[in-house]
């Protein structure tokens, strides 16, 4: 397990306000190992779903105690009927029957999401063995967007030369509209503040201030205008800067910024990168991670009422530790 400076800082921060995080994938040893390190640092209380004897054996075999770790079997939960009714009430208008709700309430991802909705947990980390859609859909249906008229998106926290950056959206909205890109910019600025950054949001394109043309350039330019208008009306006013359309070099390099985007408060200093579509966001963060060894935490969801985060199926133990700590930090109101 590789403990970096940034990961250590996340654990320290999470421990300042201990939250209860559900880990539905107790059949996976990476999850059990990550839970041990998080519990040892008292960075969160953990509720793991799975077979109690097997999980207990995993820890005793390694001489690890289970302080701060609870094991729960959803099928045997005394609250199962309460959760099924809760789900039914929330989804009956969408056509869900009580019978369907009873079946779904024992599905591990739904069960964890319902625990959060019922106030029995503060966050959830899943996806080591489930697809993004499986993790994200119950979150969107049950926990829902924190702002009624804003979409939920995702972000990756990238740590490059010990400096964190927010990249959005690598996982949820495949081809965002101008409005969705604007929502993403605001949600990413909120995420940046939550993780200690002073957000300078670059709306990225292959064009800077009209140097290139095309439908995608227009989309990013219009999204920038919408995002700036949203910012003016939001509590983030004065706490974030948003600018675009910018090329990545203009966003990051002061010398290029002076030439291509003189006067911009973002260009040359951007720490939040908004991509025009999921393809670019997803490919960019994975390229940086693989070519450059950049630390990548995410995708984390942003704009939800309470935090549920998705793991990559290739996640390493240290990635899972980071995601649990991030989820606990997001859970602080
Ligand atoms: C996230 C995702 C699973 C949502 O799936 P979907 O098919 O749009 O979900 P549904 O249409 O069933 O919508 C479920 C609910 O979520 C809501 N919803 C969907 N996307 C949303 C968003 N971005 N923000 C807020 N709410 C959203 C819908 O309005 C719907 O609400 P309702 O049922 O209460 O009316 C889908 O966008 C997706 O597959 N994204 C790409 C995932 C991926 O492959 N990522 C790359 C690898 S990491």
Same domain, 180 and 202: yes
Question: Which amino acid residue places its CA nearest to atom 47 of ligand 1?
Answer: 171
Q: Which two tokens stand for residue 33?
A: 């190992």
Same domain, 196 and 265: yes
CA–CA dist 130, 36 (Å, integer): 21
According to DSSP, the β-strands at 123-126 and 308-310 are parallel
Q: How far is the CA of 140 from the centre of ligand 1 (A)?
A: 7
CA-wise closest residue to 208 among 260, 274, 159, 131: 260
Same domain, 185 and 139: no
Q: Is the CB of 272 inside a 6 Å radius of any atom of ligand 1?
A: no
Res 1: pLDDT: 85
Q: How far is the CA of 253 from the centre of ligand 1 (A)?
A: 35
Q: Is the CB of 302 inside a 6 Å radius of any atom of ligand 1?
A: no
CA–CA dist 330, 306 (Å, integer): 8
Same domain, 108 and 11: yes
Res 131: pLDDT: 87
Residue 289 belongs to domain with CATH number: 3.40.50.10750
Same domain, 113 and 192: no
Predicted TM-score (pTM) of the model is 0.95
Q: How far is the CA of 110 from the centre of ligand 1 (A)?
A: 15
- Tell me the residue range of the domain where 216 lies: 147-303
Same domain, 196 and 293: yes
Q: Read off φ and ψ for residue 120, nearest 5 degrees.
A: -95, -5
Number of domains in the chain: 2
Cβ 31 vs Cβ 50: under 8 Å: no
Same domain, 247 and 178: yes
Res 293: pLDDT: 86
Would you write out the chain's pLDDT as a tens digit for each of its 333 residues? 889 999 999 999 999 999 999 999 999 999 999 999 999 999 999 999 999 999 999 999 999 999 999 999 999 999 999 999 999 999 999 999 999 999 999 999 999 999 999 999 999 999 999 888 888 999 999 999 998 899 999 999 999 999 999 999 999 999 999 999 999 999 999 999 999 999 999 999 999 999 999 999 999 999 999 999 999 999 999 999 999 999 999 999 999 999 999 999 999 999 999 999 999 999 999 999 999 889 999 899 999 999 999 998 889 999 999 999 999 999 998
Question: Which amino acid residue places its CA nearest to atom 3 of ligand 1?
Answer: 133
Q: How far is the CA of 184 from the centre of ligand 1 (A)?
A: 15
Name the packing angle between helices 108-117 and 80-91 (round to 10°).
80
Q: Is the CB of 299 inside a 6 Å radius of any atom of ligand 1?
A: yes
Same domain, 124 and 259: no
Please count the CA atoms within 13 angstroms of the CA of 176 that sit on its side-chain side: 33
Q: Is the CB of 141 inside a 6 Å radius of any atom of ligand 1?
A: yes
CA–CA dist 242, 232 (Å, integer): 11
Pocket test for ligand 1, best of 128, 137, 170, 306 (most atoms within 8 A of CB): 137
Across the strands, what pairs with 254? none
CA–CA dist 250, 280 (Å, integer): 17
Q: How far is the CA of 327 from the centre of ligand 1 (A)?
A: 20
Q: Is the CB of 185 inside a 6 Å radius of any atom of ligand 1?
A: no
Res 191: pLDDT: 97
Q: How far is the CA of 139 from the centre of ligand 1 (A)?
A: 9
Q: Which two tokens stand for residue 314?
A: 């290739």
DSSP, collapsed to helix, strand or coil, labels residue 298 as: strand
**Nearest atom, ligand 1, residue 133 CA:** 3
Residue 59 belongs to domain with CATH number: 3.40.50.10950
Instruction: Say if residue 75 is exposed, middle or buried (CB neighbours under 10 Å; 0-12, 13-18, 19+).
Output: exposed
Same domain, 207 and 168: yes
Cβ 193 vs Cβ 244: under 8 Å: no
Res 232: pLDDT: 97
Same domain, 36 and 125: yes
Same domain, 92 and 158: no
Q: How far is the CA of 123 from the centre of ligand 1 (A)?
A: 19
Same domain, 128 and 161: no
């Amino acid at each position: 397990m590789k403990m970096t400076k940034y990961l250590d800082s996340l654990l320290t921060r999470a421990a300042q306000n201990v939250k209860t995080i559900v880990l539905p994938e107790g059949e996976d040893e990476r999850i059990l190992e990550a839970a041990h390190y998080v519990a040892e640092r008292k960075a969160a209380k953990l509720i793991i779903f799975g077979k109690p004897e097997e999980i207990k054996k995993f820890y005793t075999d390694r001489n690890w105690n289970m302080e701060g770790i609870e094991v729960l079997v959803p099928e045997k939960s005394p609250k199962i009927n309460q959760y099924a009714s809760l789900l039914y009430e929330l989804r009956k208008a969408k056509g869900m029957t009580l019978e369907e709700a009873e079946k779904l309430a024992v599905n591990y991802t739904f069960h964890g999401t319902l625990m959060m909705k019922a106030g029995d947990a503060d966050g959830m980390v899943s996806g080591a063995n489930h697809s993004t859609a499986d993790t994200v859909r119950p979150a969107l249906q049950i926990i829902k967007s924190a702002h009624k008229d804003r979409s939920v998106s995702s972000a990756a926290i990238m740590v490059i030369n010990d400096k964190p950056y927010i990249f959005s959206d690598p996982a949820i909205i495949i081809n965002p509209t101008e409005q969705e890109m604007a929502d993403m910019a605001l949600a990413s600025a909120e995420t940046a503040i939550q993780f200690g950054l002073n957000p300078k949001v670059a709306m990225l394109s292959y064009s800077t201030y009209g140097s290139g043309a095309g439908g995608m350039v227009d989309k990013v330019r219009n999204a920038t205008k919408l995002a700036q208008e949203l910012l003016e009306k939001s509590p983030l006013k004065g706490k974030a800067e948003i600018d675009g359309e910018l090329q990545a070099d203009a966003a990051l390099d002061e010398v290029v910024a002076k030439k291509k985007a003189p006067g911009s408060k973002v260009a040359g200093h951007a720490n939040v990168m908004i991509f025009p579509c999921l393809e670019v966001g997803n490919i960019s963060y994975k390229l940086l991670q693989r070519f450059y060894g950049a630390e990548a935490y995410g995708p984390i969801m942003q704009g939800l009422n309470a935090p549920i985060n998705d793991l990559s199926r290739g996640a390493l133990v240290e990635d899972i530790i980071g995601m649990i700590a991030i989820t606990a930090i997001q859970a602080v109101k």
